[in-house]
A and B are shown apart, each in its own frame.
Chain A
Amino acid sequence: MIDRYPEGKQKSALIPLLHLAQQEFGGWLSAETMDYVASLLSIEPIEVYEVATFYSMFNLQPVGKHVFEVCQTGPCMLNGSDQIIDYIKQRLNIGVGETTADGMFTLKTVECLGACGYAPMMQLGIHYREHLTKTKVDEIIEECRNKQ
């Protein structure tokens, strides 16, 4: 990965490495994980902390097995994203930013994901789940439960 950058510019690998680390270590970045990444790139831990805290995709607290990232920006709002968010809160009995007691689901609200024409929608893992309805949400929750 470091070969992608000119000599001495390996710090550019930081964000890609943090994505990998988050994937590897339970979907979030602990201080230990971040210190480890710092050591891989020969940079100071603070240089990692300051980047991890800036970008919204990095989770600095543990998350559930399945993270629902629901878009709440304008165009999605016009197509009912508020209702979908309320429905998920109700079905999973959690608030925004919270994780279910069994550690299965976390609900995050996020900003525009670039799927405005297919609203309302969410990101789950690497894929987008679009054209959401209450029924579709139920199906996704089932699908996640069955993945055990």
Chain B
Amino acid sequence: MAKKLLLEKAHVEGIRYFDVYRREGGYQAVEKALKMAPNDVVEEVKKSGLRGRGGAGFATGLKWSFLAKPEGVPRYLVCNADESEPGTFKDRYLMEFIPHLLIEGLVVASYALGSNRTYIYIRGEYAWIVAILEQAIAEAKQNGFLGKNILGTGFDCEIYVQRGAGAYICGEETALIESLEGKRGNPRIKPPFPAIKGLWGCPTVVNNVETLAAVVPIMNLGGEEYAKIGVGRSTGTKLISACGNINKPGVYEIDMTISVEEFIYSEEYCGGIANGKRLKACIPGGSSVPILPANLLLKTAKGETRYMNYESLSDGGFATGSMMGSGGFIVLDEDQCVVRHTLTLARFYRHESCGQCSPCREGTGWMEKILQKIENGDGVKTDIDLLWDIQRKIEGNTICPLGDAAAWPVAAAIRHFRDELEWHVNNRELCRKQNYGLAHYADEIHVPA
């Protein structure tokens, strides 16, 4: 692709430090933004079509415009660096290699939203990144881009790094806010939305790391130019963290017009399936989005090429499609067991459930137990229908999307890999020693003329 908007300078030596970052054009977005009215900065972000890069894909400019601005009440911008969605490691990459990009985006966004105290909530396990961020913040401050009266505009802003302590649920914006307040990470019922009543009851915007970093190229290029990159409602570039059984796992910045096939097989990206194996399945957007067999991944159910963008990945809904999600692209080869993989995810959601809502608290543990039974060769026929029933009763019946996130992988496994589950049930001894294999999952689906 032509030019990377986020990672172009990521490997310039010393880019982690202010003087190199500045030399390479850094902080020009701040200079530009602070000459504009805050609302005009919000307008640029709206024009850009930027969508939340954490997983939900909600229009960022729109989210910003919801921010209530009552007189005399502080407003807060919170950066969601809690990255915990299995398969996702792109925010880590950005913060580790080019932290000033995030800091610069935060200064612009804080200005646009009127946040004088901005927090970066970073997952506790990214312990070594705290020092990297704090160094970048200190440097920005030393050079007049943070602190009091930034660039003589009268705008004050401080950025603080707040550590989490191991809780996927704290990636959900209201649970994150609860955690920032020093409490257990229990999500709140919405409405009220954080834009009205968030951190300490004040209007708050919570945005993902990548979303906030994207504000920098949006300011530098202008919203309209940014929107010209990509396609449809998938504007700009997206960071994809690719992992699983591929030759070149890692973080890639893509133009969202490339096909899924190109992303997996091209040397420019994943470099194909490792060890000469064949592709069996893929979860394209982090563990919460539906897993697809190879024949529905590379092409839609209609037989059209599938592309790495929001619309195309969602083509077919959950019946035959998936989602862009967080961009955590997990690839399974022909030797992998979908039952086992789904079990690890069920265990994950059970572990991470905050426990507030009965369907999620009870349902996640129940699904894990049944999947463990099936994986061990102790499953019975009715277990599969029971699993379907449980996930259906969790979905939509919880305060926060973790319930849905736990239900969707199980639903997709049953929807697309039912025969693999049934094979476990019907071959109790054999399934403990062997895997189901590729079966028909890569066979082209016959598309009626």
Contacts and interface: CB of A to CB of B under 8 A. Distances in A.
A123 B127 CA distance: 10
Contacts of B104: none
Contacts of A12: 162, 180-182
B50 interface: no
Contact of A11 (B89, B181, B341, B354): B181
B87 interface: yes
Contact of B332 (A18, A56, A78, A127): A78
Interface stretch (A86-94, A95-103, A106-114, A133-141): A106-114
Given A9-B200, A73-B344, A114-B83, A78 B330 contact: yes
Interface string A8-37: 010111111011000000000000000000
B165 A19 contact: yes
Interface residues of A, number: 40
Contact of B164 (A6, A15, A116): A15
Contacts of A111: 84, 86, 168, 348, 351-352
Interface string A32-54: 00000000010000010011001
Given A15-B179, A111-B352, A116 B167 contact: no
Contact of A19 (B88, B92, B124, B347): B124
Contact of B182 (A6, A15, A116): A15
A119 B181 contact: no
A79 B244 contact: yes
B125 interface: yes
B81 to A, nearest CB: 10
Given A75-B243, A114-B89, A117-B250, A11 B182 contact: yes
Contact of A54 (B83, B163, B184, B351): B184
Interface residues of B, number: 57
A77 B344 contact: yes
Interface string B78-100: 00000111111101100000000
Contacts of B328: 75, 116
A78 B244 contact: yes
A6 B249 contact: no
B182 A117 contact: no
Contacts of A72: 344, 347
A4 B167 CA distance: 22
Interface string B246-260: 000111000000000
A19 B348 contact: no
A112 B85 contact: yes
B86 A14 contact: no
Contact of B244 (A4, A15, A75): A75
A74 B184 contact: no
B56 to A, nearest CB: 18
A55 B74 contact: no
Contacts of A126: 127-128
Contact of A116 (B74, B183, B184, B249): B249
A79 B60 CA distance: 35
A115 interface: yes
B340 interface: yes
A51 B88 CA distance: 26
Q: Is the interface of B mostly helix, strand, loop or mixed?
A: mixed
B184 A58 contact: no
A116 B124 contact: no
A57 B87 CA distance: 20
Given A11-B182, A12-B162, A119-B243, A55 B87 contact: no
B144 interface: no
A57 B165 contact: yes
B327 to A, nearest CB: 12
Contacts of A9: 181, 200
A55 B124 contact: yes
A1 B403 CA distance: 35
Contacts of B125: 57, 110, 113-114, 123
Nearest to B409: A74
A57 B185 CA distance: 14
B203 to A, nearest CB: 14
B166 A110 contact: yes
B245 A117 contact: no
Nearest to A81: B344
Contacts of B126: 114
Given A16-B162, A78-B336, A117-B251, A127 B128 contact: yes
B88 A56 contact: no
Nearest to B245: A78
Contacts of B179: 15
Contacts of B237: none
Interface in B67-120: 74, 83-89, 91-92, 117
Given A51-B182, A78-B330, A116-B249, A15 B89 contact: no
A121 B83 CA distance: 17
A79 to B, nearest CB: 7
A112 B167 CA distance: 10
B58 interface: no
A112 B348 contact: yes
5 contacts: A72-B344, A73-B287, A74-B87, A74-B341, A118-B249
In the complex, the 10 A-B pairs of residues with the closest C-beta atoms, listed nearest first: A55-B165, A117-B249, A56-B166, A11-B182, A116-B243, A57-B166, A126-B127, A14-B182, A112-B86, A54-B184
Given A11-B182, A19-B124, A74-B341, 5 more contacts: A15-B124, A77-B341, A114-B89, A115-B89, A116-B241
